[in-house]
Amino acid sequence: MRQPPGAPLAHLDQLADTAALGVTLPDGRAAFLVRVHGRVSAFENRCSHRGVPLEAEPHRFLEAGGELIQCAMHGALFLPESGECVFGPCQGRRLVAIPISVDAEGQVHLAME
Ligand code: FES
């Protein structure tokens, strides 16, 4: 669902530890949030290999171990803290990071807001 300007992207409760959530930014870009070991990060949902969405099923952005972001198309693996591709055809390139902040109530916002 596309978030209106100023609205939070999500609440931490939607991101149980080691979980992911697809969102649509107010400008219409597809993005996703991941929470790995309690740290939340966000990226555009566009693989740095072919520019396609990473997930094959809704909200499935992490590999089975829940530690790395995975592209379902060719299996590239990305670090959740930086978006750097560490395995696969785009190794060394990065996902486009979305700056976010988490407020005291656990709401996740775009950092520019
Ligand atoms: S399109 Fe993502 S690894 Fe090829």
pLDDT digits (tens, 9 = 90+) for 2-55: 767 778 999 999 998 669 999 999 999 999 999 999 899 999 999 999 999 999
Which atom of ligand 1 lies at the shortest distance from residue 76's CA?
3
Distance CA 65, CA 44 (A): 22
Q: The tokens of 67 are what?
A: 């530690």
Q: Chain-wide mean pLDDT for the chain?
A: 93
Ligand 1 pocket member 74 (CB < 6 A): yes
Which pLDDT belongs to residue 16? 81
* Confidence check: pLDDT of 1 > 70: no
Ligand 1 pocket member 96 (CB < 6 A): no
Distance CA 65, CA 62 (A): 8
Which pLDDT belongs to residue 7? 86
Ligand 1 pocket member 2 (CB < 6 A): no
Which pLDDT belongs to residue 6? 76
Which pLDDT belongs to residue 72? 98
41 CA from centroid of ligand 1 (Å): 20
Which pLDDT belongs to residue 17? 64
Average pLDDT over residues 69-93: 98
Average pLDDT over residues 74-84: 98
Which pLDDT belongs to residue 18? 65
What's the fold here for domain 10-110? Rieske Iron-sulfur Protein (2.102.10)
Task: Enumerate the domain spans of the chain.
Answer: 10-110
* Protein residue closest via CA to atom 4 of ligand 1: 74
